[in-house]
Homo-oligomer: A and B are copies of this chain.
Amino acid sequence: MKALVLLSGGLDSTTCLGMAVGRHGPEQVGAVSFAYGQKHARELDLGEQIAAYYNIERQVIALPHEVFAGGSSTLVEGGPANPTGSYADLPPGVSPTYVPYRNGNLLSMAAAVAQKAQSRNPFESVVELWFGAHAEDAEGWAYPDCTPEFIGSMANAIYVGTYHAVRLVTPLEWLTKAQVVRQGLALDVPYYLTMSCYNGTVPACGKCPTCISRIAAFKDNGVDDPIEYASFTNAQIVR
């Protein structure tokens, strides 16, 4: 295996997967998804369909839900309701949708998986660990575990801590959401299979920050988002 992709089933990670498959071919790419108690666990089923579309192997790992539950995160089962409105409308400070050090955990677990894949063949080169954080995730420190500062440190910790077997690769790190979609459209990424909605509903709620961000990203590219929405609450993004 040359690349292991963190695949949530969302727009960014699926674009990442499309880029990895384009680079290395499906037989050299694997994906890993995580169950951590997210409300939008439907993304795990979509991850399976996306992996089938790309003809790659995908595994699902369950993390101990109790670690991420019981705090203030709106993203996990038992947490408060997800906010409505765009990311820009959220108050400064800890994002309500932040899950305690989630990405540190997902990356660490994926690094162990990638390391094992590499050690099966010591003559194989380093395994790339692809992670689809993009620039707007980091804006205003909305998600500190998506910032370049976090990514740089984590990349080094993983590289050192795996005997240089695993390298973190973040091709979307400096791209806006619209630029991510532009990359994906050029690669025919199957966006109709992806979901972004924090509430995990079908159709997508259209009101939560990530729905709004996603709709705007497609609009900026002059194309229709292929998934369905229940409503559009933000006048700026009604087409």
Contacts and interface: CB of A to CB of B under 8 A. Distances in A.
Total copies of this chain within the assembly: 2
A108 to B, nearest CB: 4
11 contacts: A61-B66, A71-B120, A100-B111, A100-B112, A104-B111, A108-B108, A108-B109, A144-B162, A145-B162, A150-B161, A157-B157
Contacts of A156: 149, 153
A149 B157 CA distance: 7
A113 interface: yes
B116 A105 contact: no
A66 B109 CA distance: 11
A238 interface: no
Contacts of A105: 105, 108-109, 112
Nearest to A156: B153
Given A119-B71, A153-B153, A161 B113 contact: no
B67 A112 contact: yes
A102 interface: yes
Contacts of A145: 160-162
Contacts of A166: 101
Contacts of A150: 157, 160-161
B158 A101 contact: yes
Interface string A157-201: 110111100100000000000000000000000000000000000
A227 interface: no
Interface of A is mostly: helix
Interface of A: 61-64, 66-68, 70-72, 94, 98, 100-105, 107-109, 111-113, 115-116, 119-120, 141, 144-145, 147, 149-150, 153-154, 156-158, 160-163, 166
A108 B101 contact: yes
A115 B101 contact: yes
Contacts of A161: 101, 103-104, 144-145, 150, 154
Contact of A153 (B66, B68, B72, B154): B154
B112 A158 contact: no
Given A64-B62, A157-B150, A101 B111 contact: yes
Interface centre among A107, A150, A163, A166 (most CB of B within 10 A): A163
